[in-house]
Amino acid sequence: MSISENWRSMTVPPTASPIILIICGPAGSGKTTLCEQLLSEFPDRIERIVTTTSRQPRPGEVDGLDYHFLDEEVFKRRLENGDFIEWAIVHGRYYGSQKKHILQQLEKGKDLMLNIDIQGAQTFRKEPSINSRLAGGLHTIFIQPESLEQIRERLKGRGESEMEIERRLKSARIELQEVDNFEHVILSGTREADYDALRKLYLSLRK
């Protein structure tokens, strides 16, 4: 169900401090598209935290825009220095969120959005006890597909191979077991309904 036109016309209310949205969900949940839509609507209010990775850039990818690209040895040194709030190894490559990028944006007073995996979300939940600037402003959101069959159909629509679909479905079964650990859950339906729900949630958190 779409939200009302009155709700659509609302602007983002001011708050005393920025908030951080941690958005997770299995492959095929549509979380990346939802993040892009919210960023597009509120470009002056929300900043996406760009993930740092040790993998090589793909054709067309821009350093600092798509990812922050680091040599693996440099990535490991920064891990040893405690430069990452969260990190993980995915398909043999390092991925993580650097503290300095997050704190720089918080100093500007912007809301932050991170599209990360379950492991990263678990790490962020512990961070408020370590860094007071995150305390009270962290909100975790899980995009929950209606079923594994819905995920399968969406992945097919993206042209994924059957082997890749099965691999992602295996991961999805594990990720779906974590849904109760999230503060907010959006049950996925249509793209429009999902975005309406995320937008409404964001505006409510800004009150």
- Whether 21 and 143 have beta carbons less than 8 Å apart is answered as no
Residue 3 reports pLDDT greater than 60:
no
Q: What is the pLDDT of residues 169-205, one digit of tens each?
A: 998 999 999 999 999 999 998 999 999 999 999 999 9
> Over 29-65, what HEC string results?
CCHHHHHHHHHHHCCCCEEECCCEECCCCCCCCCECC
Q: What is the pLDDT of residues 48-74, one digit of tens each?
A: 999 999 999 988 889 988 899 999 999
The helix-helix angle for 162-176 and 148-157 (nearest 10°) equals 140
Residue whose C-alpha is closest to residue 137's, from 102, 181, 161, 90: 102
The structural domains of the chain, ordered by start, are: 19-205 (3.40.50.300)
Residues 6+ apart with CB under 8 A from 178: 118, 142
pTM: 0.82
- What residue has token string 């979380």? 31
Residue 86 φ/ψ, nearest 5 degrees: -145, 150
The tokens describing 191, both together, are 């793209």
